[in-house]
A and B are shown apart, each in its own frame.
Chain A
Amino acid sequence: MKQIKIFGLLLGAVIIASSCDKDDDMPAATVYYEQQDQMARPAINTVFVTAAGDKDAFNTTPPSAQGAAFQSKFQTRLLALNAGYTTNALGQTAAQLTGLLATDVLGVSTTGPTTFFDGVAANTLSGRKLDDDVIDVELLLIFGGPTGASNPGLTKDNVNANDKAFSASFPYLATPW
């Protein structure tokens, strides 16, 4: 009984205190958000990061620190995927390709066309359009060798377009199934 009364008093005090807070112009405590996932270029973590602990670590390492932390692991993975890797169609060595990919940011042009790759060398890695066949580009760079002709069964997945047409106007993505 006594306990209930005390509890009631406390409750009253709390209500008064909180209503006081409302009247004050006290700023609310800052709400912070902590990183859980990140990505830029498609399928990089999927393809190049293999250990479960590394996948979460890659997702929470700022891009400015990713290269130092992951380039050598990416190179090991690249050579496991393609033991015969020498260079690729961009002329990149294993160290150069994985050095580029380990820092997972998407370069975007603010002045010209924007595409992952559209056959025009100057436009390479200038963004990512909805219809870019990004997987074929990555497969070619990993498996295609210096001329793109190596490992022909591995350099394209033969899925060349989305299953719905995109819109030319906002919001660009197709309606859901």
Chain B
Amino acid sequence: MKRKKLLFAATIAAALVTGGIIYAADHIDTPAVTNQTTDITDVYVFRAQDPNNLVFVANTQGLTIPGNTAALKFDENTVLEFNIDKTGDNKEDLVIQCKYSADGNKMQIYGPVAPSETGTRSKLEGSVTAEVAVTAYGSAAATGTGGSGIKVFAGPRDDPFFFDLDRYKAILAGTAPGFATPGNDTFKGTNVLSVVVEVPKSLIAATGAINVWLETKKKI
């Protein structure tokens, strides 16, 4: 009984804290979807350990404390979509879509594939090119490998973002003259829900630079 009460109090406190926090990288930015499965925290794109591959990282649901991390869940009605522009017109020529399936608790990857339409509305394109069982909190990372060499991971990770966001807010509010030395990482000790997709560059088939952005889309 006492434990239940404590747990309840802790949950309320956590809700108050996360509800009041202003997120960064992309967290401060989504009044419509704050703290939902479609709320992006960060996107990273970089050359893989194998220089013939590129890595695409999508992080969501930021500032999750360790005590709440086991409860983080992907959503069957959400698609995480990496958009790739190869021609410089900022319109997607290829998409890599990440779609959770509760059947088997898997993250499934579609693409890279040319989408049948561009813009804010999407449907799943083509067929699954790689999939992986979602890694549970505290378990070793599972890697799925598709036939075309695509690798995928899905599950909770440490938030790789670092920034003294609290001090930045104080500066904007006029209560601090500048940054502190040393600064204090507002994101230290917190987790995100990640999807990591490693793709052979040959499947993107671009020459030189591409433009990439991440979208989250909800079933309509």
Distance between Cα atoms of A158 and B210 in the complex (Å) = 31
Which residues in B have their C-beta under 8 angstroms from that of A58? 29
Check A110/B54 contact, CB under 8 A, given A170-B153, A171-B141, A172-B196: yes
B217 sits at the interface (CB 8 A): yes
- Contact, CB under 8 Å: B220 / A176: no
The count of A-to-B residue pairs whose CB atoms sit within 8 angstroms is 255
**Residue A19 interfacial (CB < 8 Å):** no
- B115: shortest Cβ distance to chain A, in Å? 12
- Give A66-108 as 1s and 0s: 1 = Cβ < 8 Å from B's Cβ atoms: 1000000000000000000000000000000000000111111
Residues of B within 8 A of A66 (CB): 90
Q: B10-50 vs A: 1/0 string, CB under 8 Å?
A: 00000000000001111111111100101110111111110
- Inter-subunit contact B158/A174 (CB<8 Å): yes
Asked whether A45 lies within 8 Å of B29 as measured between CB atoms, the reply is: yes
- Chain B residue numbers with a CB within 8 Å of A37 are 26, 29-30, 33, 38-40, 215-216
The reply on A36 being an interface residue by CB < 8 A is: yes
**Chain A residues whose CB sits within 8 angstroms of the CB of B207 once the complex forms:** 110-111
Give Cα A37–Cα B156 distance, bound, in whole angstroms: 20
With A42-B25, A59-B29, A161-B162 as given contacts, are A33 and B209 in contact (CB-CB < 8 Å)? Answer: no
A35 contacts B by Cβ under 8 Å: yes
Q: Would you call A149 an interface residue if the criterion is a C-beta within 8 Å of the partner chain's C-beta atoms? A: no
Digit string of B40-72 for contact with A (CB within 8 Å is 1, else 0)? 101111111100001101000000001001000
Most buried by B among A64, A113, A151, A158: A158
Q: In whole angstroms, what is the CA distance A107 to B84 when docked?
A: 10
List residues 52-70 of chain A with CB under 8 A from any CB of chain B: 52, 55-56, 58-60, 62-64, 66
In the bound assembly, the distance between CA atoms of A108 and B164 in angstroms comes to: 26
For the complex, give the distance between the alpha carbons of A163 and B189 in Å: 7
How far apart are A78's CB and chain B's nearest CB, in angstroms?
14
Give the contacting residue for A163; candidates B32, B158, B194; CB below 8 A: B158
> How distant is the Cα of A130 from the Cα of B147 in the complex, in angstroms?
27
Which residues of B lie under 8 Å from residue A4 when comparing CB positions?
A: none
Taking A33-B78, A106-B213, A113-B47 as given, write out 6 further A-B residue pairs in contact, using a Cβ cutoff of 8 Å, ordered by the A residue number.
A32-B121, A35-B217, A36-B38, A60-B120, A130-B160, A154-B171
Residues of A within 8 A of B (CB): 30-40, 42-43, 45-46, 49, 52, 55-56, 58-60, 62-64, 66, 103-111, 113-115, 126-131, 133, 135, 151-154, 156-164, 166, 168-177
List 10 tightest A-B contacts by C-beta distance, closest first. A153-B178, A45-B29, A33-B217, A171-B153, A158-B183, A105-B211, A40-B213, A35-B120, A173-B157, A159-B183
